[in-house]
A and B are shown apart, each in its own frame.
Chain A
Amino acid sequence: MGEAATKPNPTEDRLATLSMPENGWADAARKAALARVREMGLPGRRDEYWKFTRPDTLVQADAPQAALFHNEEGPLFGEMDRLKIVFVDGVFDPKQSDDLTLSGVRIDRLADSADIHWASDLYGALEANGHYVPRPLAALNTAYATDGVLIHVTGKAEKPINFIYLHENETSDAILHHVVKLDPGAELTLLETGPAAARFNKCMEVDVADTANFHHVRAQGRDHERRAATHIFARLGTESVFKTFTLTVNGRLTRNECVVELTGDDAVAHVAGACVGDGDFHHDDTVFVTHDALRCESRQVFKKVLRNGAVGVFQGKILVKEGAQKTDGYQISQSLLLDDDSQFLAKPELEIYADDVACSHGSTSGAIDEEALFYLRSRGVPANVATDLLTLAFLAEAVEEIENETLRDALVERLQGWLERHRG
């Protein structure tokens, strides 16, 4: 036996469980991604951006089991007119999905598209470009994604597209990769809902051309024991708009990374999230916004409600490159700790190489305001209802980042439901 074979190597152990799908146009990108994974190695506890979140269960060869969880709630956004694309444990389900035709949009399946393809210079490209800090789980995703959707938006999409991720198998281990390309002036609202799998690795690359508009609202949820590592890589052209909001309820471990590059002047990027966690819940938002053009605006707004030992992590960075004058960057991360056992860990970072910019960031951790609580109770509002009201009020600043009122109301309703079910 050689020396090398006896050394434990979690990266090779994990890679040994996977086989690379073949789909012609993406093969080169997949191989390059695999080389990146090997070079970086999968995340370990000593890595700078994994200090607050243990990567073990995301890296280990097999997905830890995650029980299915059902409640009375109907499908989110169920009332909305939207194009549904359904995945069951990470496998596209044509039966439950709508016809993949939508005016203003071309939709392909990653697994289908065998020939030379419009997505070939995007697939893996934004991911490869996003390693200011190593993101090996994203590279692993590019290399091994078994399914996903390629969306080319040429005009104004007739209605929102909704990826619905159903979780039906307790040990499912899903790797999905989506590519979204918006032509100049194009518009799309993309919704993502559902727990997806016992372990879910998802990567989405979004190329937003000049003056295009991309809105993304995601609700990760429900199953208490699921685990997820997700990445969004976005590149923004001149005067384009990119807005993403994520609501997370439940889940043992969630790591959401969002990497945004403002490459055209006057572009706008908003990255926001709200999460509520009870007990064995660990939620990590890791955001990296790069300003590389004039007069761009970026906002990061994250709120976390934590109770019974839940843990929240925020690692957020604003990088302003040389010459990115008149940058307007804002970042706030706040937690509401409903007891002493819960924890919020924050690492806000600013790195600025231009002299005419306005950047601010803040991070706070606090408990329920006792004065406000007593005031509400003195008017007859029971303590638990009053706590819910104050909790929703705390989350409001993040939730208000969602522009569309119908979507916002639907998420607030979900939050209310969750709070009611988790009343102390």
Chain B
Amino acid sequence: MLNIKNLHVQLEEEDKQILKGVDLTVEAGKVHAIMGPNGSGKSTLSYVLSGRDGYEVTGGEATLDGEDLLDMEPEERAAAGLFLAFQYPVEIPGVGNMTFLRTAVNAQRKARGEEELSAADFLKIIRERAKALKIDADMLKRPVNVGFSGGEKKRNEILQMAMLEPKMCILDETDSGLDVDAMKLVAEGVNALRNEGRGFLVITHYQRLLDHIKPDVVHIMADGKIVKTGGPELALEVENNGYADILAEVA
């Protein structure tokens, strides 16, 4: 599904290499986790895949179901089925959460040549999915993420994912800032979306989230590269011993 080959990325503004040859494949139906020390390039990878400005790809490729992601506008990537749950969701004063979601859902449908959802149908679906994430009507009416608590913002990301039903979901530290109950809600939201056609890339620092969202594969990223890949036990190893041993081993 998601294929990243030898991806090299540097900052546009300064001559600083951040990704130094990332190789990664996420198959449909699988959950891959990425762990790695602060500053190793995990968020950068997620931003480059979703098309944020400020990065220059100096080598390698990234495709989604064979389509060249790097050649597309951010909205085209979204319509192609890519979704990023942001590490730091953005506040947008003046744009209602509901308006935002409906615009997004219908824009994607339009881009894919599907019929737009009617206001009534949309309302029905969003109410149901918001309820599962304990997002109340008031939060839907408020401006996007404005005045939301850290945990509410993260749940709002998952709601967007549930509404957009992407093929490939990247979650960047969706667990950070969540209390224990909210973490369960988020994990349930993710698990509800797990199916054979959908891939997940879950960026996290903690085993806790992976207790709820069981990964098939775990990668360790360090200094802009995937340095080790293994099964769920790799996450446990990090949890218990930190990165020192792994980094020493691959050095």
| Contact between chains at B75 and A389 (CB < 8 Å) | no
Quote the shortest CB–CB distance from B224 to chain A (angstroms): 22
Residues on B with C-beta less than 8 A from A369 are 92
| Contact between chains at A375 and B92 (CB < 8 Å) | yes
Question: Does B74 count as interface, using CB distance less than 8 angstroms?
Answer: yes
Quote the shortest CB–CB distance from B152 to chain A (angstroms): 16
**In chain A, residues 239-273, which have Cβ atoms closer than 8 Å to a Cβ of chain B?**
none
Question: Does A168 count as interface, using CB distance less than 8 angstroms?
Answer: no
Quote the shortest CB–CB distance from A328 to chain B (angstroms): 24
| Contact between chains at A376 and B53 (CB < 8 Å) | no
Which of B51, B93, B99, B101 is within 8 Å of A377, CB to CB? B51
| Contact between chains at A376 and B92 (CB < 8 Å) | yes
Question: Does A421 count as interface, using CB distance less than 8 angstroms?
Answer: no
Which of A371, A378, A385, A396 is within 8 Å of B51, CB to CB? A378
| Contact between chains at A381 and B104 (CB < 8 Å) | yes
Question: Does A379 count as interface, using CB distance less than 8 angstroms?
Answer: yes
**In chain B, residues 118-175, which have Cβ atoms closer than 8 Å to a Cβ of chain A?**
143-144, 160, 164
Question: Does A417 count as interface, using CB distance less than 8 angstroms?
Answer: no
**Looking at the complex, which of B78-86, B177-185, B214-222, B225-233 is the stretch in contact with chain A?**
B78-86
| Contact between chains at B51 and A393 (CB < 8 Å) | no
Query: Given A378-B84, A379-B104, is A393 in contact with B73 using a C-beta cutoff of 8 Å?
Result: no
Residues on A with C-beta less than 8 A from B52 are 374, 378
Question: Does A79 count as interface, using CB distance less than 8 angstroms?
Answer: no
Which of B53, B83, B91 is within 8 Å of A374, CB to CB? B53
Which of B74, B92, B164 is within 8 Å of A390, CB to CB? B92
Give per-residue flags for B65-77: 1 if the beta carbon is below 8 A from chain A beta carbons, else 0.
0000000011101
Query: Given A376-B100, A377-B78, A393-B93, is A383 in contact with B73 using a C-beta cutoff of 8 Å?
Result: yes
Query: Given A378-B84, A394-B94, A396-B94, is A389 in contact with B51 using a C-beta cutoff of 8 Å?
Result: no
A370 to B164, CA, bound (A): 22
| Contact between chains at A390 and B107 (CB < 8 Å) | no
> Could you list some 29 contacts between A and B, CB below 8 A?
A369-B92, A370-B53, A371-B90, A374-B53, A375-B90, A376-B92, A377-B73, A378-B51, A378-B75, A380-B75, A380-B79, A380-B105, A380-B108, A380-B111, A380-B164, A381-B100, A381-B104, A382-B73, A382-B75, A383-B75, A385-B103, A385-B107, A389-B99, A389-B103, A390-B92, A392-B95, A393-B93, A394-B94, A397-B94
- 18 new A-B contacts, CB < 8 A, other than A377-B75, A380-B105, A381-B107, are A372-B95, A374-B74, A375-B89, A376-B104, A377-B51, A377-B74, A377-B78, A378-B50, A378-B52, A378-B74, A379-B108, A380-B75, A381-B100, A381-B103, A382-B75, A383-B73, A390-B95, A392-B95
Q: Which 5 A-B pairs have the closest CB atoms?
A: A393-B94, A380-B78, A380-B108, A379-B104, A377-B74
Give the B-binding residues of A (Cβ under 8 A).
369-372, 374-383, 385-386, 389-390, 392-394, 396-397
